[in-house]
Amino acid sequence: MQHETDDDIAPGILPALAQAAEEFTSWRRTLHAMPETAFEEQRTSAYVAARLASFGLPIHRGLAGTGLVATLQGARGAGPAIGLRADMDALDIHEATNLPWRSDTPGKMHACGHDGHMTMLLAAARHLSADPDFAGTVHFIFQPAEENEGGARVMVEQGLFDLFPMQAVYGLHNWPNAPFGTFLGRPGPMFAAFDIFEVKVIGRGAHAAMPQRGIDPVLTASLVVAQLQSIVARAVSPQEAAVVTVTQIHGGDTWNVIPDEVVLRGTARTFTKEVRDLVEQRFRAVVEGVCAAQGARAEIRYERRYPALVNHGAEFAHALDAARLTAGAGAGAVVADFEPIMAAEDFAYMLEKAPGAYLCLASGPGANLHNAHYDFNDALLPVGASYWVNLVHSLLRPAA
């Protein structure tokens, strides 16, 4: 799998970053080979910290355990403070690429490109540290546990914005299978809120040949799964969006026994608080009603995880300006009305506390995110790093 020779690299990248692409690739592949999952990013954090220290940056360590923040003061004096965030964690996936820089830890891999995200922000940090020609402050935020465990929430709860006050915070994520170098985003809700649920359907076991002597939790659970689809089909307005998906059904041990209970698990996705509240309310009503009608009962665990990621208008416009500067004048190089995505992103917690914006950066053809064959496209490294530098300069080094 060769990415480095991509001839379609965006024309607006900074020459110094393009010339260092081979070095950045080495950083990225080192990080790829040492994947660590949520709140366990010890080697990763140490590697990132060592790079940041070599740039002469002061580093604050310990937020959310393995998280760190490096701070750079501009040479032009006082000015606004902004945050730039990269995620650090990997996934519980067995890597299937067989690349020389593949995971050294069985069952874990960087299948979402966080190795590339860290490298792009490190590259920007080095470039800006060497020539801090701006007025104000940049905080380089390296966050653990983006996948499922809400590391951004923990960093915020442990004082990220109290320790490092900032006027805005920005994020960037790679996006496979869209034209290489294209920036993608939208104002307002861009990624969905993410909730999980577990339902224990409790009946009464019986011989499969004599179902009348029991209360069948398998039948009841099947009816629950079917009726849950009525929430999106009939309770949520067609002008809104929601997903309710059952992803697990567990119950029974043999062919001729009706079990005592069945467990259902799954996820719900929404974009607005009103629809989120509605979906949870209807979910509980459907589960309890169906179970009651069958003579069964339900134990429900419904847990709200990530909020919807909502881009702030002014900050989104600033991000687009930097994206256009980075992408150059190519047609379609910046898409400002990207379709909302039902996936979730915990950068949403930061955007709940501070104005900011989040963009995706297309990496061209390749395996999808969270796929065992995925590998970050290294040709994207100088593009993303240039975006970060251009964003800093456009926000903190206005034209005279």
pLDDT for 228 equals 98
Which pTM does this prediction carry? Answer: 0.92
Average pLDDT over residues 245-265: 98
CB atoms under 10 Å from CB of 313, counted, come to 11
**CA–CA gap between residue 363 and residue 54 (Å, rounded):** 29
pLDDT for 13 equals 77
Instruction: Please identify every residue annotated as catalytic.
Output: 89, 146
- For residues 396 and 74, the answer to whether their CB atoms sit within 8 Å is yes
pLDDT for 4 equals 39
Average pLDDT over residues 137-147: 98
What are the pLDDT digits (tens) for 156-188?
999 999 999 999 999 999 999 999 999 999 999
Output phi, psi for 206, to 5 deg: -160, 170
Mean pLDDT of the chain: 95
For residue 190, what is the DSSP state? E
**Residue 400 pLDDT class (50, 70, 90 cuts):** low
What are the pLDDT digits (tens) for 273-314?
999 999 999 999 999 999 999 999 999 999 999 999 999 999
Average pLDDT over residues 369-380: 97
Residues 154, 158, 164, 165, CA torsion sign: positive
What are the pLDDT digits (tens) for 5-29?
344 444 567 999 999 999 999 999 9
Which residue in 123, 114, 116, 113 sits closest to 17, CA to CA?
123
Q: What percent of the chain has pLDDT over 90?
A: 94
**Integer distance in angstroms from the first to the last C-alpha of the chain?**
46
Average pLDDT over residues 199-205: 98
Q: Which two tokens stand for residue 217?
A: 């939790």
What are the pLDDT digits (tens) for 84-110?
999 999 999 999 999 999 999 999 999
144-153, 162-171, 284-293, 390-399: range with lowest mean pLDDT: 390-399
How many residues does this entry show for the chain? 400
pLDDT for 328 equals 76
Q: Residue 292: helix, strand or coil by DSSP? A: helix
Identify the helix (H) or strand (E) that includes residue 138.
Answer: strand 137-143
Q: What percent of the chain has pLDDT over 70?
A: 95
pLDDT over 50 at 57, yes or no: yes
Which residue in 86, 75, 37, 91 sits closest to 358, CA to CA?
86
Q: Which two tokens stand for residue 186?
A: 């939208």
Question: Helices in the chain by DSSP H: which ranges?
Answer: 15-19, 21-32, 42-54, 114-130, 151-157, 160-163, 217-230, 273-293, 313-327, 347-353, 381-396
**CA–CA gap between residue 178 and residue 143 (Å, rounded):** 26
Q: Residue 328: helix, strand or coil by DSSP? A: coil
Spell out the domains of the chain, with CATH numbers in brackets.
15-190+308-396 (3.40.630.10), 193-304 (3.30.70.360)
pLDDT for 245 equals 97
Q: Which two tokens stand for residue 102?
A: 């593949």
**CA–CA gap between residue 350 and residue 155 (Å, rounded):** 9
Which amino acid, one-letter code, is at 379?
A
pLDDT for 394 equals 95
**Residue 332 pLDDT class (50, 70, 90 cuts):** low
